[in-house]
Structure 1
Amino acid sequence: MTKATTLSRTSGQLTLMSVLISVVAFALYQGVALVRAGVFEYPLDDVYIHLAVAEQIAAGGYGVNPGEFTSAASSPIYPFLLTAFAGTAAQAWLPLFWNTVAMLLGAVLWARIVSKSGASRGWMLTFAALGPLAFNFAGAAMVGMEHSLHVLASLAVLRGLQIQMDEGRISWLLVAGMVLGPMIRFEGLAVTGGGALVLLLMGRTAIAIGLFAAASALVAGFMYFLTSLGLEPLPNSVMAKLSGSGHDRFSPADLPIKLLVQLFSSKAVVLLITVLCAVALLARPGIDRRLRTLLVGAAFTGFGHLLLGQFGWFERYELYAMTFVLGLVMMVVLRDETLHTMRLLLLVGFGFLGAAYGHWLLFNGTNGPNAIYSQHGNMSRFVKEVYQKPVAVNDLGYVVWANDNQVLDLWGLASYEALKIRLDDPYPGWAADLVSDAGVELAIVYDRWIDEGIGADWIKVGTLTFTGGPAFLGGYDVSFYATVPTAADGIRRQLTEYAPRVQGDAVLTVIDEGAG
C-alpha cells in the first residue's frame, strides 16, 4: 500500500468519525428534546426573529412588522437564507436545514484540517473525534441560529491558512471564510483580522490587505444599507448584546470589568489559557517561523473575543472563536513533536469543552424546545388566534413571526427608540409611554425586565407560568397587562377562552378584577 493510499484511507476514516460523532450528538440532543416537548421546536425564540425579518425581506421590506424598517436581526446575511417559503409553515424548517448542512460541512472540514496536521494516526484520530464535541457542532446546529454557519466560516479560514502554509497558495476557502464570516456575524472580523495577520507575517501582504478590505467593505456596505433606511449603523441586537442584560450602554471603560466577568465562564477560562499558551509558545526558541504566524493569529482573535465577545447564551456565542483559536494552536502543537506537554494540555482542554457542552445540553439545553413551545408558543398562539390586535412584548420572537398585526418590542431589538430609552433614560413609566404612543392595549412582559417602566395604570389580567423545570428563559412567569383600563375585561375574557387550549408544560392564570 502506497503512502498516498494510506493517507487517503486515514483521511476518510477521520471524516467518517467526525461526521458520525456530530450526527449522533445532534440526534441525541434532538431526540431528548423531542421527548421532553412532544413536538419539534427550537430551543430559542430568537430563531423566529430571523424568520420574521426574512418574511419582511420577501415582501420587499426589512424589519419585523409590515411597512416598518427595523434592524432586529443579529446577522446581516442569515435572514436572506430564510426567505424561501415565507408566509407558510414550511419556512420554519429552513433554520434546521441550514444548520444541519453547516454542521455536516463543518465536520468534514474539521477532519480535513486534522488529517493534514502532520501528526501520527493516534493523535489525528483523537482530535478528529474530540473536535465536533469541543466546538459544540451539534449544539450550535440545534439552536437554529447563524452560529453553525459562523463556525463553518472559521473552519474555512483555518483550512485556508493551512493550505497557504503547506502549499503556498490562496484557497477559495480562505477567501470565502475571511470575506463572508463577518457577514454571518460581525464578530467574524476577529477571525478575518487574525487571518490577515497570519497572511501578513507569511509575506502575503497584498492578499491580507485585500481580503480584510473586502470584508470591511461588505460590513460597511451593510451599515450604509441600514442608515439608508433611516436606522442606526449597527443592528439593535448588536447594541443590546454589548450591554448584556443591563440597562446601561457599553463603554470601552467597561472592558476590564467585562473581562473579569467573562472569566466566571469556564469556557472563557479555557480560551484565556489557550491564548496564554500561544503567547508562551511565541517566546519559545526553535518554533518554526510559519507556525509562529499561526500563534499570532490565535492570540489576536482570542484576546479580541475575550474583550469584546460574549460567552454562553445557550453555549453559542464563543464557538467561532474557540474553533479558530484552539484549531490554530492544535495545528502548531501537532506539527512540532517537541511540544508533547502542550499537546496533552490542549487535549485536556478539548476534552473539558466537549464534556461541559454535552453535559449542559443534555441536562438543560434539551429542555429549551419544551420551554419555547410551552411559553412563547402559547403567547404566539393566543396573540395570533385569539387576540388578533397589536401587542407589546419584551422578548421578541415567536409572537412576531407570521403575525400581520404590529408587535412593539420594548426591549429594543426591533425598536431603537425603546433601546435608547432603556439604556440611556429608563424613567418611571417609559414603557407605558411607548405603548400609549403606539396605541397598544396589551403588553406581555417579564416584570423584572421592564421594572419601573411598567405603567402605573396598567392592569395585570393574567400570568402564563412555565412548569416544565429548568430552562433557558427570560423568566418562568410572563405577565399579561391591559395597558388601558377599559381593555381589561375584554382581554380577561379572551384569556379565559384560551386557557383550556394551553399546550405543553404551562399554566395560564386569569386574574380577576380586584385580585392581586
Structure 2
Amino acid sequence: MRDATMLPRMSGQLTVLSVLISVVAFALYQGVALFRVGVFEYPLDDVYIHLAVAEQIAAGGYGVNPGEFTSPASSPIYPFLLTAFAGTAAQTWLPLFWNTLSLLLGAALWARIVSNTDASRGWMLAFAALGPLAFNFAGAAMVGMEHSLHILASLAVLRGLQIQMDEGRISWLLVAGMVLGPMVRFEGLAVTGGGALALLVMGRWAVGVMLFSGAAALAAGFMIFLITLGLEPLPNSVMAKLAGAGNERFSFAALPLKALAQLSMSNKAVVLLVALFVAVTLLFSHGSARRGAVRALLLAAVFTGFGHLILGQFGWFERYELYAMAFTMGLLMLVALGERNLQTHRVLLVIGFGFLAVTYGNWMLRYGTNGPNAIYSSHGNMGRFVKDVYQKPVAVNDLGFVAWANPNYVLDLWGLASYEALLTRLDDPYPGWAADLVEAKGIELAIIYEHWIDEGLGENWVKVGTLSFTGGTAFLGGFHVGFFATTPEAADKIRAQLTLFAPQVQGNATLTVHDAELE
C-alpha cells in the first residue's frame, strides 16, 4: 500500500497530467480545424439541431418549427442547456462552453479514479496520460454534442463504484451518474444497469434498485412528456439511428448481424469485444480476497459492454461508443490495478489504451479536423441561402443549420423532425413519396442529397443548382447537394436567386446553377 500522505500530491500531479493532455489535444484539434476553415465552426450539423430545439423550448414549444411539436434531439436534457440567448449568435457558443467544461471535469475525474488505485506511480502515470486520449475526450468535446457530458456521467458512476468498493459508502457521484446519465443519452441506461448490478453483488441491492428505478422513472417521464405533445415515446432521432443508414425498421432479430457488421467495420468494436472476453475470463478464473467487489466490477463491465456492442452504435464521428469504452475499460483497469497477480492484464490494457489513443488521434487529425470546414462550406452556405436570400419554407434531408434561427418552415425529409417522413421512409418508401410530403406543405424548394431520397424525388422536380464541397475528405452526408424546384413554375425564380448567391458562397464550396435548357 502507498503512503496515505502521498495521495493528495499524487492525485494533484495526475490531475494536472490528464487535464493538460486533454486540453492540448483539444487545442490541437481546434487549431488545425481553424487553420483549415478560417473561422470557428462545429464539425457536425447535428449541433444546430439541438440549438434549433433549444430555440423552440425558449419560445414555449418543442421541435424545430414554431407551433409544431417534433422530437429531433437525441438527448432529453441537452437542448434545455442551450436555451440561453436563443436564436442569436451568442447561443452558438453554448455547446462549446458545456463541452469544454465537461472535458475538464472528465479529465480531472479520470485522474482521481487512477490515483485512488493501489498501483505504482508508473502504472498510474501511464493510465492517467492514456485515458483521455484512449476515450477521445478532446474529440468528443470538439463535436459540440452531448457526448462529453455522457462520458462524464459514466466516469461518475465508475468513480462511485470505486468509492463503494474501497470505502463502503454511496457517493453523490454514483447517484448523479446513475440517475442523470440516461437523461444525457438513453444509452446511459446501460451504465446505470451495470452500476445497479455491481451494487447488487456488493450487497447494496436496495440502493441499486432505487437508483436504477430513479433513472428509469426520469426516462419514462421524458417519454410521457413526448406523448403529451402527441409524439412517439422515443425521439425520432433515436428511431432513425436504430434503423441505421438504410430504409429498414429496427428489428431485434437483426441484432446479431448488426453486431457482427460493427465488428467487421470498427476496430473499436473489436477492442471492446476483446476487453469483454478478458472480463468474462476473469469472472470464471480469478480468485481474490476482494472477490465480491472484483466480481461486481467485472459483471458491470460485461453488462454495459455487451449492451452497447449489441444495441449501440460505433463511429459516426467517433463518438457513440466512448461512454461504454470509458466505463467498461475503466472497470477492467480498476480490477487489473487492484490485483497484484494481474501484471499481464495491465500490460494488455496499456496496449489497448495506446491503440485506441493512436486510432482516435489519427482519425481526428486526418478527417475530424476537416469537419468544421465541411459544415461551414456545405451546411453553412445552405443555411445562409435559405435564411438570407430565399426566406420561404424549404425541405431538407440533413437538418440543423438550415433550421436554426430560421422563422420559416423547414420540412425534414429524413424524418428527425417529421414523424410522417420517418414512417414513410422506413415503412413505405414508394416512388415520389418525398414529393407528396413536400406538396402537402406547399414547399417549392428542396435541398437534398439525391442518393438519400433516391426514388422519393418528384417526377416534376427541376434541379436548378448543385452545391459541391471541394475541401477534401470530411464527415458529410454527401459532397454534392442538389437544389430542386419542386414545381416547374418555381424554377426560374429560384435559379435567379441562386445566381445572385453563387458569388457569395463561403469556404471550400462551389455553387453551380443549372441552365433551363439543360433540364
Q: TM-score, normalised by structure 2?
A: 0.99
- Pairwise mapping of residues 193-272 of structure 1 onto structure 2 (< 5 A)? 193-263=193-263, 264-272=265-273
Give the match for residue 493 of structure 1: 496
State how far apart, in whole Å, the 2-side matches of 1:194 and 1:220 are.
19
Structural mapping, 1:292-303, within 5 Å: 292-303=295-306
Work out whether 1:273 is the aligned partner of 2:274: yes
Q: Partner of 1:355 in structure 2?
A: 358
Deviation at 1:514, TM superposition (A): 2.3
Q: CA deviation at 1:30?
A: 0.0
What does 1:376-415 correspond to in 2, within 5 Å? 376-415=379-418
Displacement of 1:87: 2.3
Larger mean Cα displacement after TM superposition, 282-291 or 446-455: 282-291
Cα deviations by residue, 1:187-242 (Å, 9 ceiling, x for unpaired): 00000000000000000011000000000000000000000000000000000000
Contact 2:471-2:508 at 8 Å conserved across structures: yes
Q: 1:503 aligns with which of 503, 506, 510?
A: 506
Partner of residue 424 from structure 2, selected from 418, 421, 426: 421
CA distance in 2, matches of 1:327, 1:284: 20
CA deviations 1:175-194 (Å, max 9, x no partner) are 00000000000000000000
Q: Deviation of residue 4 (structure 1)? A: 3.1
1:83 counterpart residue number: 83
Alignment partners' CA distance in 2, 1:431 and 1:117? 57
Secondary structure at the residue paired with 2:247?
coil
SS of residue paired to 1:39: coil
Tell me how far 1:5 sits from its aligned partner: 3.1
Q: How does 1:98-497 map to 2 (within 5 A)?
A: 98-263=98-263, 264-287=265-288, 288-497=291-500
Q: Distance in 1 between matches of 2:330 and 2:37?
A: 35
Shift of 1:330: 0.3
Deviation at 1:286, TM superposition (A): 1.2
Distance in 1, matches of 2:69 and 2:7, equals 54
Moved more, 283-292 or 367-376: 283-292
Q: Distance in 2 between matches of 1:258 and 1:39?
A: 38
Query: How far apart are the structure 2 equivalents of 1:34 and 1:153?
Result: 29
- Shift of the 281–432 alpha-carbon distance from structure 1 to 2, 3 Å rule, reads same
Report how far residue 289 of structure 1 moved.
Answer: 2.1
Q: Give per-residue Cα distances to partners, 1:264-308, cap 9 Å, x unaligned.
A: 200000000001100000011413221111000000000000000
Q: Distance in 1 between matches of 2:271 and 2:418?
A: 36
Measured after TM superposition, the shift of residue 507 of structure 1 is 0.2
3-state SS, counterpart of residue 462 of structure 1: strand
In 1, are the aligned partners of 2:63 and 2:72 still within 8 Å (CA)? yes
Residue by residue over 1:16-41, the C-alpha shift from the partner in whole angstroms, topping out at 9 and shown as x without a partner, is 00000000000000000000011000
Q: What amino acid is the match of 1:349?
A: G
- Percent identity reads 75
Tell me what 2:22 maps to: 22
**What is the rounded CA distance, in whole Å, between the counterparts of 2:517 and 2:484 in structure 1?**
14
Letter of the 2:182 counterpart: P
Letter of the structure 1 residue corresponding to residue 277 of structure 2: L
Q: Determine the C-alpha separation between the residues in 2 that align with 1:466 and 1:3.
A: 59
- Confirm or deny: 8 A CA contact 2:45 2:400 kept in the other structure: yes
Report deviation, 1:505.
Answer: 0.3
2:201 touches 2:292 (CA, 8 Å); kept in 1?
no
Give the counterpart letter for 1:271 in structure 2. L
- The unaligned stretches of length 5 or more in structure 1 are none
Map Cα deviations across residues 351-393 of structure 1 (whole Å, 9 max, x no partner).
0000000000001100000000000000000000000000000
Report if aligned partners of 2:87, 2:404 keep a CA contact under 8 Å in 1.
no
SS of structure 1 residue aligned to 2:478: coil
TM-score relative to the length of structure 1: 0.99
Helix, strand or coil for the counterpart of 2:399? coil
- Specify the SS of the correspondent of 2:518: coil
Which 4+ residue blocks in structure 1 deviate beyond 6 angstroms? none
